[in-house]
Amino acid sequence: MSDFRQPTLPDRGYATDSSNIIRNRVMRNTYWLLAISLVPTVLGALVGLNTGINRVMGASPGTSAIVFLIGAFGLMFLIERNKNSSLGVALLLAFTFFMGIMLSRLLGHVMGLGNGSQLIMLAFGGTAAVFGTMATIASTSKRDFSNMQKFLLIGVVILIVASLANIFLQLPALMLTVSVMAIAIFSALLLVDLQRVINGGETNYVSATLAIYLDVYNIFANLLMLLGIFGGSRD
């Protein structure tokens, strides 16, 4: 009977080694692609600022919201459809360029403040701190945070609905509430998405990068909005 049991030990070892290799490759490729995706985001923001697209979006917030939703969800759908090919990477970079253009409206507003550059750097540093904290928790905690995902996604839907409603309502209190909730929700989603990559739950680095990018983007944008409201100077 021992002859039948012995071969199972190396097989189990090979399976573990194989899963570790896949997990490490996905993690490495995700972090690299996430870093690279910041380049088209910055380029998109520069295009938006230098061509006046940010001012056009500011003058027509309703139209901008429609363009954003169609463009963002359309590109995300195409990315997921092509995530197993190089086209998925190209679409992801195109998506981050588009998101940079959409971000230019907020950046233009903040840069119009006397301390706009400092606020942008502070928002960037705050986002990096959140990322580092969540990455540390995801890699060291033994708790499984995946059970939070369903409730967090419901929260995202509520945020989208509230943001669209506030285009017409123009309630400052609602805008502040949405921004604070967005930072909390997307920080928690960042923890969930990072843990899924670290633990090997996500085997496609394009999908992983897309999820983490959206978390980081929304944390940065909403943190910058709050800083612009409470820390902005007109001098």
The whole-number average pLDDT for the span 208-216 is 97
Q: How far is CA 204 from CA 32, 33, 75, in A?
A: 13, 12, 17
User: Residues 167-188: pLDDT tens digits?
Assistant: 888 888 999 999 999 999 999 9
Q: Which residues, 6+ apart, have CB-to-CB distance to 23 below 8 Å?
A: 197, 198, 199, 200
161: buried, middle or exposed (CB in 10 Å: 19+, 13-18, 0-12)? exposed
The pTM of the full predicted model, rounded to 2 decimals, is 0.89
User: Residues 28-42: pLDDT tens digits?
Assistant: 999 999 999 999 999
